[in-house]
């Protein structure tokens, strides 16, 4: 069974610049109804124009279900989705939206938990969007936290003024013009003598550096949580041969050749699977694994989730064995 997500017809109720090249869109249901609930870290799949879907993190207030808020960075060298948003989407534009979906959920134990973790948030540029509601949630919960926010310049860093004004010394801001560079060694939460939870969203280089730092500093498993906007680099697949995929619910068995994805072959077989990014970053095509060994090539699941082998992203991940059985 694939993930079921609500599809909602929405209207842009406000659009305004919140930083250089960043536009904030406020979206409301076209029929005025209340929207599905979400938690910090969630994103929407937005059809920005016919056949073009993009994922945007929700950055507003989860308790306000009359509207969703997303911020979109103009990326002149991107695939065109953000340019379309900046040039054609205005107040009153209708948009089709799917979600919310959350593969970057903030884990915030109940207030009665004896040893609450210290939270470390790391954001690069537009990567602040999923982090913003997390920061508000931990600040409201009264637990200890710190935010490290890096960008090319203050003008290009959405919400930076609001964050500094609201949270003062919890927030460290890094820009080349100010001569401040983010030092990963300072991210351990200083001398805190309790568990640390690290949440990071930003450019690929920032995430890769943080991952290597976490490995070399031997952070306990489950400490680091990453949200990727771009697919991580992966090596050649471990299997170069075709493999079989049995679709348990549909009763079909398909053969996936080396040059095609499971998603493509399954779609050709007439089985409906939701998908969006088709590059392993959004989580929309997540599919339960019944049996067989998976070579996980996505940028969504944590190492522990990949090891559990319970689900896979069939747009990029492949079999590491001759036959997989999927709940499709
Ligand atoms: S479609 Fe986005 S992860 Fe597969």
Residue 2 has pLDDT above 70, yes or no: no
Residue 97 has pLDDT above 80, yes or no: yes
Cα distance between residue 70 and residue 86, in whole Å: 13
- Compute the average pLDDT of residues 291-309: 93
Residue 185 has pLDDT above 80, yes or no: no
Domain of residue 311: give its range: 243-326
Are 81 and 129 part of one and the same domain? no
- Compute the average pLDDT of residues 88-109: 94
Of 75, 101, 127, the residue at which a domain comes to its end is 101
Nearest atom (ligand 1) to Cα of 278: 1
Are 273 and 299 part of one and the same domain? yes
Are 262 and 166 part of one and the same domain? no
- How many Cα atoms are found within 13 Å in the side-chain-facing hemisphere of 150? 17
80 pLDDT band, cuts 50/70/90, is confident
Are 17 and 77 part of one and the same domain? yes
Cα distance between residue 296 and residue 301, in whole Å: 9
Return the higher-pLDDT residue of 152 and 303.
152
178 pLDDT band, cuts 50/70/90, is confident
Question: 280 in ligand 1 pocket by Cβ < 6 Å?
Answer: yes
Query: CATH code at 33?
Result: 2.40.30.10
Torsion, Cα of 71, 75, 76, 82 (10° steps): -50
- pLDDT value for 85: 95
In a domain, 232, yes or no: no
188 pLDDT band, cuts 50/70/90, is low
Determine which residue's CA is closest to atom 3 belonging to ligand 1.
280
Cα distance between residue 310 and residue 171, in whole Å: 37
3 pLDDT band, cuts 50/70/90, is very low
- Compute the average pLDDT of residues 300-309: 91
**Helix (H) or strand (E) segment spanning residue 261:** none
Residue 4 has pLDDT above 70, yes or no: no
Of 162, 192, 227, the residue at which a domain comes to its end is 227
Question: 315 in ligand 1 pocket by Cβ < 6 Å?
Answer: yes
Tokens 């970053």 correspond to 281
Are 55 and 150 part of one and the same domain? no
Are 127 and 223 part of one and the same domain? yes
For residue 166, the CA-to-ligand 1 centroid distance in Å is 36
For residue 131, what are the CA distances in angstroms to 104, 128, 137, 276? Answer: 10, 5, 10, 22
In a domain, 36, yes or no: yes
Of 168, 197, 227, the residue at which a domain comes to its end is 227
Query: CATH code at 174?
Result: 3.40.50.80
Average pLDDT score over the chain: 92
Tokens 């710190």 correspond to 146
Tokens 């067989």 correspond to 292
Are 250 and 206 part of one and the same domain? no
pTM of the complete model: 0.87
In a domain, 129, yes or no: yes
Residue 44 has pLDDT above 90, yes or no: yes
Tokens 């939460």 correspond to 189
In a domain, 194, yes or no: yes
Closest of 289, 326, 281 to residue 307, by C-alpha: 289
- Compute the average pLDDT of residues 202-228: 89
- pLDDT value for 1: 40
Cα distance between residue 319 and residue 181, in whole Å: 41
- pLDDT value for 76: 87
Question: How many domains is the chain built from?
Answer: 3
Are 221 and 162 part of one and the same domain? yes
pLDDT more than 90, % of the chain: 74
Question: 262 in ligand 1 pocket by Cβ < 6 Å?
Answer: no
In a domain, 111, yes or no: no
- Compute the average pLDDT of residues 210-224: 87
**Helix (H) or strand (E) segment spanning residue 49:** strand 43-49
Question: 54 in ligand 1 pocket by Cβ < 6 Å?
Answer: no
Are 93 and 124 part of one and the same domain? no
In a domain, 113, yes or no: no
Q: Three-state DSSP class for 318?
A: strand
Ligand 1 binding pocket mutation candidate from 2, 230, 232, 279 (most atoms within 8 A of CB): 279
Instruction: Please state the separation of Cα 325 from the chain's center in Å.
Output: 27
Are 216 and 132 part of one and the same domain? yes
In a domain, 110, yes or no: no
Query: CATH code at 302?
Result: 3.10.20.30
Query: Which are the contacts of 79, defined by CB distance < 8 A and separation ≥ 6?
Result: none
Are 133 and 221 part of one and the same domain? yes
In a domain, 109, yes or no: no
pLDDT tens, position by position, 242-298: 999 999 999 999 999 999 999 999 999 999 999 988 999 999 999 999 999 999 999
């Amino acid at each position: 069974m694939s993930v079921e997500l609500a599809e909602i017809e929405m209207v842009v109720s406000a659009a305004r610049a919140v930083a250089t090249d960043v536009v904030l869109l406020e979206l409301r249901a076209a029929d005025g109804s209340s929207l599905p609930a979400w938690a910090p870290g969630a994103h929407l799949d937005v059809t920005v124009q016919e056949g073009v879907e993009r994922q945007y993190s929700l950055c507003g207030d989860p308790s306000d279900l009359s509207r969703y808020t997303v911020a979109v960075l103009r990326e002149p060298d991107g695939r065109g989705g953000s340019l379309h948003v900046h040039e054609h989407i205005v107040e009153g534009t209708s948009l089709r939206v799917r979600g919310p979906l959350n593969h970057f959920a903030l884990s915030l134990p109940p207030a009665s938990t004896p040893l609450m973790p210290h939270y470390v948030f790391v954001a690069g540029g537009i990567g602040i969007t999923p982090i913003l509601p997390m920061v508000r949630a931990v600040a409201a919960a009264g637990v200890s936290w710190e935010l490290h926010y890096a960008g090319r310049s203050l003008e290009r860093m959405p919400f930076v003024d609001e964050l500094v004004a609201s949270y003062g010394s919890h927030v460290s801001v890094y820009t080349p013009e100010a001569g401040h560079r983010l030092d990963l060694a300072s991210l351990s939460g200083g001398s805190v003598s309790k568990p640390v939870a690290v949440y990071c969203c930003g450019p690929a280089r920032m995430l890769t550096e943080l991952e290597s730092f976490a490995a070399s500093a031997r952070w306990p498993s489950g400490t680091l949580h990453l949200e990727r906007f771009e697919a991580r680099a992966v090596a050649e697949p471990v299997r170069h041969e075709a493999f079989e995929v049995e679709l348990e619910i549909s009763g079909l068995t398909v053969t996936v050749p080396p040059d095609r994805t499971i998603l493509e072959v399954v779609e050709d077989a007439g089985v409906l699977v939701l998908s969006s990014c088709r590059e392993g970053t959004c989580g929309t095509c997540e599919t339960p694994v019944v049996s067989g060994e998976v070579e996980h090539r996505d940028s969504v699941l944590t190492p522990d989730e990949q090891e559990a082998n319970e689900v896979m992203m069939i747009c990029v991940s492949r079999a590491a064995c001759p036959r997989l059985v999927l709940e499709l």
